[in-house]
Amino acid sequence: MTTYPAALARALRTNPGRPFVTFIDEGTGERIELSLTTYANWIAKASGLLVDEYGLERGQKIRIDLPPHWLGTIFVGAALNIGLVLTEGGADVVVLGPEAVAPVPGAVTLACSLLPLGVRFREGVPAGVHDVGEEIWGQPDAFTPWDPPQRDDVATSWDNATQETALAAAARFPTDGSRLLSEANPASPPGFASICIPLMTNGSLVLVTGADPERLEAIAASELVTDRFPAQVSRSARDHPSRL
């Protein structure tokens, strides 16, 4: 698959009910599990919010300033779904967490409360900021981009990976059907691949934050983890382009 929407559509045809993202926050006690179908519904809602409500277009830039969180995986997926470029610098749209909620000059500014179930801020948000928890629920559970991303569209500005090369790299992960444990932020360069790998290898992501080493090992056992992120792609996988 050479674009994110194509890869997601294929995964939904083959195994839509499998767990896809499990998020565990040891600080708050939150645990949320999204099946692939539920994840795709959230992707559709976030895509509709960005395109239909705020007029974002393929090729524009998005900065996701969230800590490791399941909503980060949603906005990464939505960005790829509509052909936005993930960046750490200046952007056309910025997604903020609750720590620093203020409008970003020149950008559509969205804010996530990071409360359980993605609900809105209890005290509201400042003028010029859009509350994701208030506005995303009204979006449809299906989304078809009118200008879908192409295989050579840039997906990440930090390494100029295209849709095709980002997904191809993820497909080289040596384990199919893995349960992948990660503490890396999927909305950052070090963690970006952690959400692409499960999509391309019929796997799932267990995203953990706030766990000490002992607790992390206990989580790995209870969640039936099979692989850790980051992990080296094996030479055999690199040498077999038919895996892509």
pLDDT, tens digit (0-9, with 9 covering 90-100), for 19-74:
999 999 999 999 999 999 999 999 999 999 999 999 999 999 999 999 999 999 99
Predicted local confidence at residue 58, as pLDDT: 97
Mean pLDDT of the chain: 93
Task: Report d(CA 62, CA 78) in Å as an integer.
Answer: 10
Does the 4-243 domain belong in CATH 3.40.50.12780?
Answer: yes
- Give the pTM: 0.93
Report whether 195 contacts 186 (CB < 8 A): yes
Task: Report d(CA 183, CA 117) in Å as an integer.
Answer: 20
Residue type, 79: A
According to DSSP, residue 146 is labeled: S
Give every residue of the chain whose pLDDT is below 70, as ranges. 1, 232-244
Other residues' Cβ atoms within 10 Å of the Cβ of residue 120: 18
- The vertex-168 CA angle with 9 and 154, nearest 5°, equals 85
Encoding tokens for residue 192?
């970006």
Give the contacts of 151 (CB within 8 A, at least 6 positions apart).
2, 3, 162, 163, 164
Predicted local confidence at residue 1, as pLDDT: 60
